[in-house]
Amino acid sequence: MMRIGMLTSGGDCQSLNATMRGVAKTLYNSMGDVEIIGFEEGYKGLMYADYRIMKSSDFSGILTEGGTILGTSRQPFKLMRQPDEQGRDKVEMMKHTYHRLRLDCLVVLGGNGSQKTANLLSQEGLNVIGLPKTIDNDLWGTDMTFGFQSAVNIATNAIDCIHTTAASHGRVFIVEIMGHKVGWLTLHAGLAGGADIILLPEIPYDINVVADAIKKRAKAGKRFSILAVAEGAISKENAALSKKEQKKLQQNNPYPSIAYEVGARINELTGQEVRVTVPGHMQRGGAPCPYDRVLSTRLGAAAGKMIMDGKYGYLVGIRNNEIVNVPLADVAGKLKMVSPDCDMIKEAKLVGISFGDE
């Protein structure tokens, strides 16, 4: 009999359950004898041996369910061989659970940080398979992560709702979209929602350029402007500072988040009324969209196949619409960012979207 451990780690997102269902259905269908062990709340469950033995029926009817049936937690610690409160080595604790339960493999659904840990465990000799979870789509080695398109739908819907109210009142509206380091979600939702200005972490903005774009629209008779602003959008001045100076600035920042700051500056520079909307955690929630369910089922099935083939140490990704295996070592610690001169940015500029940079 094979024994497979499974956990979901990091901020939750849509399609975690659909992915686990894909793995589980493949294993139950194809192998006579398999047991799946679900760890509670991510790596914490693996460390403290907090788990339950899953039944086939646990994976029934969850294709369309948001969240994760296993629970998740952000890793509340740097895992690199740092001790827990009792002074025990965390990595050793996880290895201990793995070996004590006689697992044949550990399946990790997680984003950047979680795959880094997955790689660490793999290097320690555990059989690990990673699955690319994140609404940010910033995992290296895969064209797409599950959760991303569902989040794009919610963020776009926020812009759509704002569109009608902006048009009726003739105001500037800012929708703040998740993404501290990476702007894919904002870029896609901004394009899909017809935002006039898009501010991304990867393209520092000049607030005067932003204000000019708004004024130009007003002059052309457009009653409103809509900005899609990533949480991690940054001005050129601030981007030029050292990380330390940035942190200090952040601490004295009177605004709850960047959208409010940008809004205040626009109001100063253009005199126009500005409203801010922050859909926030909504972007991680709700049922996965059909796109994600297809992606998750494919990735899950592929992971199941790899387990049957004994192929470990990889992240299962998708490239050019085909499943690929990327060594966890290649994935760990890398981010897939928006390049300021990539095709998509150029195309967005062609249709008249300003990124506040020129």
Check residue 162 for interaction with a second copy (CB under 8 A).
yes
Near a second copy by CB under 8 A: residue from 112, 137, 156, 325:
156
Assess whether 196 carries a catalytic annotation: no
Asked if 10 and 111 count as a contact pair (C-beta separation under 8 A), the reply is yes
List Cβ neighbours of 98 (8 Å cut-off, separation of 6 or more): 5, 46, 106, 121, 126
Asked if 27 and 36 count as a contact pair (C-beta separation under 8 A), the reply is yes
Check residue 186 for interaction with a second copy (CB under 8 A).
no
Q: How many C-beta atoms lie closer than 10 Å to residue 295's C-beta?
A: 26
- Closest to a second copy by CB, 11 vs 130, is 11
Near a second copy by CB under 8 A: residue from 4, 101, 189, 199:
189
CA-nearest of 5, 10, 23 to 300 is: 23
Check residue 191 for interaction with a second copy (CB under 8 A).
yes
- Closest to a second copy by CB, 61 vs 83, is 61
List Cβ neighbours of 112 (8 Å cut-off, separation of 6 or more): 134, 138, 139, 333, 335
Near a second copy by CB under 8 A: residue from 276, 306, 307, 326:
276
The b-or-e profile of 183-217 (16+ CB within 10 A means b, else e) is: bbbbbbbbbbbebbbbbbbbbbbebeebbebbbeb
Check residue 154 for interaction with a second copy (CB under 8 A).
yes
Check residue 192 for interaction with a second copy (CB under 8 A).
yes
Check residue 25 for interaction with a second copy (CB under 8 A).
yes
Check residue 301 for interaction with a second copy (CB under 8 A).
yes
Check residue 141 for interaction with a second copy (CB under 8 A).
no
User: Annotated catalytic residue: which of 12, 136, 138, 196?
Assistant: 136
Check residue 218 for interaction with a second copy (CB under 8 A).
no
Check residue 230 for interaction with a second copy (CB under 8 A).
no
Check residue 329 for interaction with a second copy (CB under 8 A).
no
Question: Among residue numbers 241 through 270, which ones bind a second copy (CB under 8 A)?
Answer: 256, 260
DSSP result, 11-22: S--TTHHHHHHH
The position carrying tokens 């901020």 is: 11
The position carrying tokens 């296993």 is: 70
Question: Among residue numbers 29 through 88, which ones bind a second copy (CB under 8 A)?
Answer: 29-30, 41, 63-68, 71-73
Pick the stretch among 90-98, 148-156, 208-216, 332-340 that binds a second copy (CB under 8 A). Answer: 148-156
Pick the stretch among 46-54, 99-107, 116-124, 146-154 that binds a second copy (CB under 8 A). Answer: 146-154
CA-nearest of 215, 204, 175, 167 to 192 is: 175
**In the bound complex, what is the minimum distance in angstroms from residue 195's beta carbon to a second copy?**
10
- Closest to a second copy by CB, 78 vs 281, is 281
Check residue 348 for interaction with a second copy (CB under 8 A).
yes
Distance of CA 302 to the CA centre of its chain: 21
Near a second copy by CB under 8 A: residue from 269, 323, 329, 337:
323
**In the bound complex, what is the minimum distance in angstroms from residue 301's beta carbon to a second copy?**
4
Near a second copy by CB under 8 A: residue from 164, 250, 251, 252:
164
The continuous run of DSSP H or E covering 226 comes out as: strand 225-230
Alpha-carbon distance of 147 to 134, in angstroms, equals 6
Check residue 282 for interaction with a second copy (CB under 8 A).
yes
List Cβ neighbours of 21 (8 Å cut-off, separation of 6 or more): 59, 62, 63, 296, 297, 300
Q: What are phi and psi of 56, to 5 degrees?
A: -55, -40
Question: Among residue numbers 101 through 120, which ones bind a second copy (CB under 8 A)?
Answer: none
Check residue 322 for interaction with a second copy (CB under 8 A).
yes
Check residue 317 for interaction with a second copy (CB under 8 A).
no
Active-site residue numbers? 136
